[in-house]
Structure 1
Amino acid sequence: MKTAVLIVAAGRGSRAGGGLAKQWRPLSGRRVIDWTLQAFRDAGHDLIAVVRNPKDADADTALAAQPDLILADGGAERSQSVRNGLLALAAHKPDLVLIHDAARPCVSKDVITNVINGLTNTPAAAPGVAVTDALWTGADDQVTGTQDRNGLFAAQTPQGFHFDAILAAHEAHQGLAADDVEVARAAGLPVTITEGCSDNIKITRPEDFARAERILGKNMDIRLGNGYDVHRFGPGDHVMLCGVAVPHDRSLQGHSDADVGMHAVTDAIYGALAEGDIGRHFPPSDPQWKGAASEIFLRHAADLARDRGFTLSNIDCTLVCEYPKVGPHAAAMQAKMAEILRIEPARVSIKATTSERLGFTGRGEGIAALATAALFKG
């Protein structure tokens, strides 16, 4: 069954304070929506659409840098936003869809899996947590009565549906709806309650950010790796540096394309994973790698990190050489590395320095590169 994910991120979230809509605000070093997206990627879902307010231009730039995302404009109301997102997904012909609030960044793989399993024999399923606290009614800051809590559940997302059924339900729905379960039930679809989790909070008020940080930090695994590489100059008319061909009167020599910067970053990622270096995965004794593009190695390292459940937080690469001058090409290198690593350019640092004419780099005999990579899982 092909499953799509629809992240609803078009709201303004004014109760959370801070001026900026809550889904774009920082949370433990990332934006709220970045945590939300990663939760579904870690659960194995890569067909993801995001519905956002077309006025969020800055956020759009960051999302547009992620080529695997489908973007759609939100509507005046949540139900309109969801309908727009479903229509954007329709061309991909999913069998199932999980509709999730961007402001729930702490959703777990178990909650997601429970919903999908719940769709085996029913057209709709959604997580809920049984209400255990006593419930009051009140007015003017006074308790006016109590409410029986039996049979009451706190609703959560993702709410899952057979795709065609929920698209038809939204196209037929008139008026407002609290969530997609309400739309489904209005269309006569039975909805199965699956097991939710108290940690699957929706950020609504300012204090919720601190709670979300505690939840996300419970089992976080943070890894750092470093890489170092050197290549000598030889005959040629350009050097490959961080995926960019830089004109020069000599080229770097090596078994592959000798991209010293990309090699250092690749080794940094392997190092963070305790997976050795490029030579372990792509032996220079193997003729198939002679002259190979170094992006093959870098993409393998990044994919290996994702397969292990890690997110690549950022990389920092320093090129050490007297020439060629790196500055004019740094932005192109940053963009190319970000594309290969499938992260935002703002998480890729490419810079250069000289060795003050000391050593082999100072004598113009070659180029060295140092890199650091940060990975996390949580």
Structure 2
Amino acid sequence: MSSSDFIVIGAGLAGAAAAWHLAEAGHHVSVLERTTPGNHEGSSHGSARIFRYAYPEKAYTDLVVRARQGWDQLEAASGRRLITPTGSVDFGDLRDPRGLAAVLEASGVAHELLSADAARERFPQIAFDTEVLYHPDAGVLDALGTIEAMLELAQATGRAEVHTHWEAAGIRRTAGGFEVRSADGRSVTGAKVIVAAGGWLPALLGDLALPAGFLESVPAFEVREEQAFHLPWREADESGAAYPAWPTFIHKRSEMQTYGLPGGRDAGFSGQKMAQYKGGPVLPSARDQSGLITEEMRRRVQDYAMRYLPGVVPEPYAEATCLFTMTPNEDFVIDEADGVVLLSACSGHGGKFAPLLGELAAGLATGAGTVPDRFRVAHHRAEAQR
């Protein structure tokens, strides 16, 4: 049996970030991962996630600005380039580019508001159907590379251990804190526990011996198995004119909400990865994921590409699934009760905040910091009762 100051359950982006911050602050940490860090059954695998500043609420944009400082610190400490700049475009009748531009203006983030014609002239590979918000400092973040960098830095302090193939099978309170047992009989003890288990969080809640009032306020989680497709880029349009470099995009329209980004390191930075937002099936639990792509979704994405992405060949060269763990209002859950910190439910948009999420969770666990009220379970409960 090993003992630590803190036990972190889950070695995805959020859990790895928490471990990094705790170890850097001088605490001993045990990270427990049910398979391997950044594995394909979770939400943090692969090397391509969108980093962007555009949100309809200034509070989130300000958090991205704050998170970017953490990314800069992480890149400097690890010597890795974890965010590749690409710029980003937002459009569609449900996206409100003008509203987004006003938020970015208020937060001091560089941006442009373009007409559909001006945007098509700049990015002819996309068929824009509304005004477009463009902000140049967006990009593609390397999820797996980020996890590796944070865990390597945590372990380099000599105060962090990463236990792989360790599925938490039982959690009990002890006189000194907690004991977490694995399915094969191993155990780890620690004063406090941070649960960053993503889609596996709902199944662990009952084991955490949380106060009844706190547990009742935890929002209902919806676990989805999203389906993503990589589409080859065309080199030129029909006239032979070369297409410019691709930005990331978010296109929200009444019929379908989509997002896309250049493929990351593991795709050779080629092709456009895209998916329908909240298009995958809702699962009874994370264990019920199939890893399968449906023909219906493949056709839907191909039809979309033929209509809105003239710069791609609408035949996927790669396909993958990914878990989204959603709260009803799509806010995160970061809260603490009786020695347990919940750090989860990033609702499909948490990757860009990874260094900051770890900082917030570490602050709660050590008592050295706090989190925005909107991420507390009491706020989630108040929102649900409206």
Category of TM-score, reference length = shorter chain: under 0.3
**TM-score (ref. length: structure 1):** 0.21
